[in-house]
Amino acid sequence: MAYNYKAISSRTIRMGVFLLTLMLVIGTVGYIVIEDFPLIDAIFMTIITVSTVGFGEVQPLSDAGKLFTSGLIFFSLGTLAYVGSTLASFVLDGEFMHYLKTVRVYKKVDKLEDHIIVCGFGRNGEQVCNELIDHGIEFVIIEKRANVIERIRQRPELLYINGDATHEDVLEQARVHHARALIATTPNDADNVFVVLTARSLNPNLRIISRASEINSDVKLKRAGATNVIMPERIGGQRMATLVTQPDVVEFVEHLLLAESKDVSLEEIACKNMAEGFVDRPLGNIKKLNNSGASIIGLKNKEGGYIVNPPKDHVVNRKDQIFLLGSAEQIKVFRELFEERY
């Protein structure tokens, strides 16, 4: 995949290349018009004049040719000084190192599979990235603000693309066709709607989670194609109220989902990979075979409904999702017993 490095390359360097090319063209055309030189002689005369190597003239010059050559020398000296100082600044100011780092980052992005795309690296976006790092999930950030990109570069573990997530080419650079999910965290609801629309059109099977700030934006985002919409203000208000009415319940759930310690956790397991012997069998059969110590506390059926503490006679199929509570070792043992091994 070819990436656009305009965000990295210096505008002054591009201007320097343009001036060098322009100088070569003006010199060549000038010698052809003024001195009637052949094309090769005109190019050669321009190069030895600009480079000041000290070779003699290809042919004796007229007075007009001498004046033109003098002007070309002054112009070339100024241009070469400009280009040289620009290159020195590009290297010494660290832009060259930024360029190399970004090239390496984009090469890593080009190899991502089954990853998460995080659009925006504000307060919510940064927290999302920290959680993904804790869970060992690969992701790439899309951010267009230059000052935020500089902050991202300070963390070498982060992969990023400097661009606008509402543009198709930027999402394609982030390998949206190969991504598992996209999280839109920008504070502007209109931007999130565009991100969701664009991502959904590129990957119809993508799971898309979007942030919403305004009351009615969640409906618009759902219509645009968002799988889930999160409203931080609403969640914050609900949490504060629940901390008054049921403080221990909230703290217990947060301990399971958000605590840094992984002594116990709540995880979901897809039934699509369960062993053949469990297909279309009562849930009690699974519990009898499970010696892991983990507990099945919930289930999402194929219709999308949730069953808390499902009964033993519930028949499971490959479209169900099981919610499991236990330690990391208990959940690992449960997977080995439950999932089909190939």
Residues 220-252: pLDDT tens digits?
999 999 999 988 878 788 878 888 888 887 777
Domain termination site, one of 62, 92, 122: 92
Residue 103 falls within a domain, yes or no?
Answer: no
DSSP code per residue over 21-44 = HHHHHHHHHHHHHHH---HHHHHH
For residue 101, what is the enclosing H or E element? helix 95-109
- Residue ranges making up the domain that contains 202: 112-235
Residues 136 and 215 in one domain: yes
Same domain? For 154 and 228 the reply is yes
Which of 159 and 287 is assigned the larger pLDDT?
159
Determine what percent of the chain is predicted with pLDDT higher than 90: 24
Domain count, the chain: 3
Whether 157 and 220 map to the same domain: the answer is yes
pTM: 0.62
In a domain, 257, yes or no: no
DSSP letter at 174?
T
150 contact partners, CB below 8 Å, separation of at least 6 = none
d(CA 45, CA 65): 11
- CATH code where residue 300 lies: 3.30.70.1450
pLDDT level of residue 2 (50, 70, 90 thresholds): very low
Tell me whether residue 247 is in a domain.
no
Identify whether residues 88 and 150 lie together within a single domain.
no
Residues in the chain: 342
Over residues 74-88, mean pLDDT? 76
**Residue 37, Ramachandran bin (φ over 0: left; ψ between -120 and 50: alpha; else beta):** beta
Confidence bin at 6 (pLDDT 50/70/90): very low
Q: Read off the pLDDT of residues 252-284 as tens digits, 9 standing for 90 and up.
A: 777 777 655 567 777 888 888 888 877 888 877
